[in-house]
Structure formats: C-alpha cells, structure tokens
Chain A
C-alpha cells in the first residue's frame, strides 16, 4: 500500500536545485575575483618569523641530540 506521496519531497528538491545553482554562481564569482589564483600561497600563512617555514618546531630532547650528532658526522 502506497503510504507516501512523493510530492512531499518537493521542498528538499527545490532547495537542492537552489543550492547547486548558488554554488556554481559563487565559484564563478570567486574565480572572476581572483580568489582562486595563487591559492597554495595561503598554505604558508601559518608560518611566521617566530616559527618559520623549514624549521621543525617540536621534538623529544634525546632525538634532537641524535639528529645533531648525525648531522655532525655528515
């Protein structure tokens, strides 16, 4: 017996279509605004002069001594 009328799904279907359209528009707009160029540069924003890129900032003490002595041997 058919309990459910699928017209009841209309709100979500309309919202889904709206969502999709808005997403496409926003992506187009951000591309046009230049937000998507040089994107990977944003990955470096976590580094500062205090904790710069290229430096490991957290180790156990003995392992540091180990790596230091290894570097000395090279």
Chain B
C-alpha cells in the first residue's frame, strides 16, 4: 500500500519537501490547543466522578430501596436523572470537546485561533450543567428522558454549545491542505447534528409542546440520536484517527470509511422510534424505525471490517499500547452492542426486552463499553503530547483498564441476563409482579458490584491524570520515558 506514495503528485504527498512546514505543525497545534483541551479533560473527569457517585447511589437504591430514602432530593428518580445528565452532558460532552476538537485541530493542520472562545464556552457549559443538575435534585426536572435539565438552564447550554460548534466549523473551514480525513467528517457531522436535535426536541416537547404522543416520537428521535449522531460519530472519529496513528499503518480501506459514514448518517437517525415498539404510535412509523435499526448492520460491519483489517497482524502492538487497549475494546464493543441493538429492534425480541433492565444494560454497553472506553484511550494518547510529559504510572493505567473492562462486562451481562428473565416472567401473567421484581434483585446486586469495579478504575484514572498535571517536577525527573516511544518525549 505504501508504493502508492510514488504515484501521488508532489503537491498532495504529505511527505514532499513543500510540506516540510508540516514538521513543526503537530507540536505547534498541540501547544495551541493545550489549555482548552486540558480544561475540557479536567471538567470531564470531574463530572465523571460526580456521575459515578450518583450511579452508585442509584444502583444501591435499586435493590435497597430505603437507602438514603428519607431525603426527597435523593429519591431514585432524581438521582438516576442526575447521573444520566452528569455522565452524558458532563463527562460525554466535555471529553468530546477535549479529544474531538484536538483531533479536528490536528487534521486541519493549523494552530487554533480564538482559544479564549473555547474556554469561555466551556465554563458556561459547566455552569449551565451545574445549575441544571442541582435543579434536578431540587425537583425541577422535566421527566423527559435525556432532557431532564430544567428550562431555566437549557438556554445557557445551547449558547455555550453553539460557540464551540461554530469554532469547530470555522476550524474546518480555514483548514490547510487539500486532504479531509474521515475523522473530520464525523466530527463535523456530529457538531452540526447535535444542536439541531437538541433545539428541535426542546421546542417540540418542552417549550411549545406538540399534542400527545408526537412528543414521544420527538423524544426518542432525539434521545437515540444523542447516541447515534453525537456520541457514536465522535467515538468513531477517535478510533479512526488513533488506531492507524498508534500502529503506524493507514486504515485498511478508505472507500469503506465513506460508505460507513453515509450509511450511518442515513439509517441511524430513523432508528430511534424503536424505543416505542408496542406503544400508542402509528405502526408504519415504528416499522420504519425497525427497518432502519436492522439496516444499521451495514455501517457497523463496515467499521468492524475496517478496524479489524487495519489491526490484523499487529495484535501484540495493540495490547502493548495503553491507548489501543481502551480503543480496541471500545471498537469491538461497538460491533457487539450495535448487533445486539439491531436484534432488540425486532418485534419478537422487543416483546421480551422492552421495559426491562436489558435496555439499561444495552445503554451502558453503548455509552460506556464503546464511547467511554474509546475516549479514555483518546486521553491516554493526547495528554503526553499536549503536556510534553509522560503518564506517571503504567500501573494505574492497567488498574484503570481492568477495573473498567471487568466492571462494564459484569454490568452488561448481569443486566441483560436479569433483564431477559424479567421480560420473560413479566410476559407470563401467572407470575405475580412482586415475584418478578424479587427475581431481578441478585442481578441488580451484581450491577452494584460492577459499579465498584468501575469506580476503582475511575479513581485510578483521576489520580494518574492529576498527578501528571500537577506534580510536574516528579514526572519530568524520570529518566526513562514511560509511554512515548521516542527517547525523552516528542521531537
């Protein structure tokens, strides 16, 4: 494949002498975006820890209902919603801003402008989210899934986000060089899709509510697309950039990348109504969603082939790279969770799994095993290059990996096994409902145990990160590089 470099015209070959200026650029770009990206990673990790606390509370309440039961601001419905929003908007969005914008900046080949704008937007994002989550606990939540943030906080979020998205689009608009890499399409698309989804959903459900179940259709068009048109593209962008980057080998087939991107763009956003199978919605609408959910197999298999063929023969290098341990775990999870998801959309399967813990397991499979693990990998690659320092402890990285890999595996298996049983029993009217509930409890306890594993992993991550950020003297004093392969760090 490398022979084609001779066939490329000099102006488009990145290695030709006209592009010697590229030499300084990567470190220059990294330096220019350092403050903004570090700010977003710090925010993301902060929200990750807050979200983890809420998660543990909610998990314990599920099988121990009187746990912290005396306090209205900690009642299960509110704590669970605080957890979701802290993780989705606090961890998820901040880490996307950190890693996604860094990848965009690098691929646009130009040191960033207006970093102050990013910082201001980030501060307002965090303020808006804090106000929103405190609002949820105080009792102002909307009870609209994935849109629980009260009305008084959402405009600030929209404005903060708009600033960031405009920045991303401008960075792309003023890019240098002819080439546009697949990650840039995904990031650009995500930056554009998310605000449209959010604004429409807010308008149709909360600010100017549509009549009846039209709200529900809009709700699940929105919520599923947060996963499919925001979290997924950003995670795929990261995987598409870092798998080849770490291995030093270009992605297997660029044609497949294009096919995968457009197939995702067309099919994913129709799938959301599969959350309403069996509900009071016109059948044709649900069927359209089911068809789209099945069609998603196409882009998912395409991505799987692409990643697999890029990695084939280099499995040892994948295992030995902290970044790729996380990212390849995430990429494999993407294939698995998507195939399970397509199956769940079939009516006969939905009849059992709908309304059960199976769905919760599936949601965490996607948001954690796929999106979050890939983002962890992104942080491990990005931070040494931004700070020009090594990660202080390889041991903590391994603890992080094992805590999270084991934790999420136990969680998904427990919730989906327990959820399947719950669904089968719920469909058997001979079994009293309370008995169905009792039978889920061992699985919910297993979920709590898995939560402890995840917490250990998160603590290892946070400790390692802040050690790297603040104890500069101790880290720079190390003679031997721990992770960067070039002696003494970057050239």
Asked whether any CB of A lies within 8 Å of a CB of B in the complex, the reply is yes
A31-74: which residues lie under 8 A (CB-CB) from chain B?
38-64, 67
Determine which of B14, B253, B324, B480 lies in contact with A45 in the assembled complex, contact meaning CB atoms within 8 Å. B14
B107-161: which residues lie under 8 A (CB-CB) from chain A?
107
* Any A CB within 8 A of the CB of B4: yes
Shortest Cβ distance from residue B327 to the other chain A in the assembled complex, whole angstroms: 10
Q: How far is A46 from B480 in the complex, measured between Cα atoms in Å?
A: 27
Q: How far is A64 from B487 in the complex, measured between Cα atoms in Å?
A: 12
* Any B CB within 8 A of the CB of A28: no
Q: How many residues of A contact B (CB 8 A)?
A: 30
Shortest Cβ distance from residue A22 to the other chain B in the assembled complex, whole angstroms: 12
Determine which of B23, B245, B319, B483 lies in contact with A46 in the assembled complex, contact meaning CB atoms within 8 Å. B245
Shortest Cβ distance from residue A33 to the other chain B in the assembled complex, whole angstroms: 13
Determine which of B22, B251, B483 lies in contact with A59 in the assembled complex, contact meaning CB atoms within 8 Å. B483
Chain A minimum-CB-distance residue to B288: A12
Determine which of B4, B26, B481, B485 lies in contact with A55 in the assembled complex, contact meaning CB atoms within 8 Å. B485
Residue contact B22 to A4, C-beta cutoff 8 Å: no
- Grouping DSSP codes into helix (H, G, I), strand (E, B) and loop, the B interface class, with mixed when no group exceeds half, is helix
Q: How far is A25 from B380 in the complex, measured between Cα atoms in Å?
A: 43
Chain B minimum-CB-distance residue to A4: B282
Residue contact B321 to A44, C-beta cutoff 8 Å: no
Q: Given A45-B177, A48-B25, A61-B481, are A56 and B491 also a contact pair (CB < 8 Å)?
A: no
Determine which of A40, A48, A57 lies in contact with B14 in the assembled complex, contact meaning CB atoms within 8 Å. A48
Chain A minimum-CB-distance residue to B1: A40
Q: Which residues of B contact A64 (CB under 8 A)?
A: 320, 485
Residue contact B7 to A46, C-beta cutoff 8 Å: no
Chain A minimum-CB-distance residue to B30: A50
Chain B minimum-CB-distance residue to A53: B248
Residue contact A43 to B250, C-beta cutoff 8 Å: yes
Chain B minimum-CB-distance residue to A54: B248
Residue contact A52 to B317, C-beta cutoff 8 Å: no
Chain A minimum-CB-distance residue to B177: A45
* Any A CB within 8 A of the CB of B15: yes
* Any A CB within 8 A of the CB of B70: no
Residue contact A40 to B255, C-beta cutoff 8 Å: yes
Shortest Cβ distance from residue B396 to the other chain A in the assembled complex, whole angstroms: 12
Residue contact B317 to A59, C-beta cutoff 8 Å: yes
Q: Which residues of A contact B257 (CB under 8 A)?
A: 43
Q: A56-B247, A58-B380 are in contact. List 7 more A-B contacts (CB 8 A).
A: A40-B253, A41-B12, A43-B181, A46-B241, A46-B244, A47-B250, A54-B2
Interface residues in chain A, defined as those with a beta carbon under 8 Å from any beta carbon in chain B = 4, 9, 38-64, 67
